[in-house]
Amino acid sequence: MTAAELQNRALVIDGLSYHSDGYTGDLRAGGINALNVTLNHFEADFTESCEKIAGWLAYMAVPDAEWAPIRQASDLAAAKDAGKIGLIMGWQNMRPVADDLDRIHLFHQLGVRVMQPTYNYRNFMGDGNLETEDAGLSILGRDAVGILNELGIAIDISHVGDHTSRDILALSTQPVLATHVDARALTPLARNKDDDILRAVANSGGVIGVSVYGPMLWDGDRNRRPSIDDFIRHLDYITELVGIEHVGFGTDIPVSNDLRRTAQIAVNRRLWSGISDYGDCFGHDIPARYAAGANNHSKLPNITAALLERGWAEADIEAYLGANFARVLGEIWGG
């Protein structure tokens, strides 16, 4: 079977895209069936978050909409069968909740199905991965974990600090996700996860979305930009560590037909996680930020082809492409 045929047969789920303006061309070219889209800016407040959700709901309500809302597990296959792109509404920061946990119930009703308690920095819930004190969950954050579990909202710890991540993993009664991370053992950055946390995600029943984000794959060679080989190096390492049933992919690639405008979302807010040296070497534009050969959703079949060439079994590739995320999200969401 060719990579294109396998990609077409599989249910393909991108664990994280940090922005979308509704453009689907690259997603269709790359065979993406559903993705967890960060709905609003990383530091958005309650009002902005409500406005973004309202915009997406209106956008998907028109009869010929190319997107379909994903609220339960069965919606994933239904969107694929209908020829639509499934939108998993997600957050990378629970700042819209502030200190009012009742808002979690509201946003669940509106369709938000993935929440990351903290982004890079500290909020009411706990510490992000750039906080030097590395404090754990707050009391409010502990209560929030219980509500997220009760409602069936998936918890993502990708940008969450180590101590806070461990607290979440210890408290959660549902599987925990790390939707877009790589292995700190191979690239020692705070944004990557150490082996203990990766194992704990797997032990919770969760999934690790391995990312093509260049700085998290970089070996520090200023003359060599990370490639698909570097991505597969991390994928193989994490798969050997936790098992094939606990891996997927999370590109962290934006979906937009105006990448110049999209680039400002990250650059203007210091969202390079303290690794601007990478950008100084290879460029700060969006295509340069990701592994060569896989820096756009339309190019993701290149990874499928590379895995086939390396002897990966077709069933394992399908698990990585989306079956694992679909299974675990079904456990969390139901339906």
Phi, psi of 320 (to 5 degrees): -65, -40
- Reduced to 3 states, what is the DSSP secondary structure of residue 104? helix
Rounded distance between C-alpha atoms, residue 86 and residue 36, angstroms: 9
**Distance between CA atoms of 157 and 128, rounded to whole angstroms?**
9
Q: What is the residue type of 308?
A: L
With tokens 């079904």, the residue in question is: 330
Give the pLDDT of residue 271. Answer: 45
Q: What DSSP string describes 38-100?
A: E-S-TT--HHHHHHHHHHHHHHHHSTT-SEEE--STHHHHHHHHTT-EEEEEEES--GGGTT-
- Taking each helix axis from N to C terminus, what angle separates 195-203 and 228-242, rounded to the nearest 10 degrees? 60
> What are the backbone angles phi and psi of residue 98, rounded to the nearest 5°?
55, -125
CB of 325 within 8 A of CB of 15? yes
User: What is the token pair recorded at 47?
Assistant: 């009002």
Based on the number of CB atoms within 10 Å of its own CB, is 258 exposed (0-12), middle (13-18) or buried (19 or more)?
exposed
3-state SS, residue 175: coil
How far is residue 177's CA from residue 42's CA, in Å, rounded to a whole number? 18
Task: Output the tens digit of pLDDT for each of the chain's 335 residues.
Answer: 888 899 999 999 999 999 999 999 999 999 999 999 999 989 999 999 999 999 999 999 999 999 999 999 999 999 999 999 999 999 999 999 999 999 999 999 999 999 999 999 999 999 999 898 999 999 999 999 999 999 999 999 999 999 999 999 999 999 999 999 999 999 999 999 999 999 999 999 999 999 999 999 999 999 999 999 999 999 999 999 999 999 999 999 999 987 655 555 554 444 454 467 888 899 888 899 999 999 999 999 999 999 999 999 999 999 999 999 999 999 999 98
- Domains of the chain and CATH, by start: 3-333 (3.20.20.140)
Task: Report pTM.
Answer: 0.95
Q: Which helix (H) or strand (E) segment is 306 a member of?
A: helix 301-309
CA angle 66, 21, 276 (to 5 degrees): 140
Distance separating alpha carbons of residues 287 and 230, to the nearest angstrom: 16
Q: What pLDDT shows up at residue 265?
A: 53
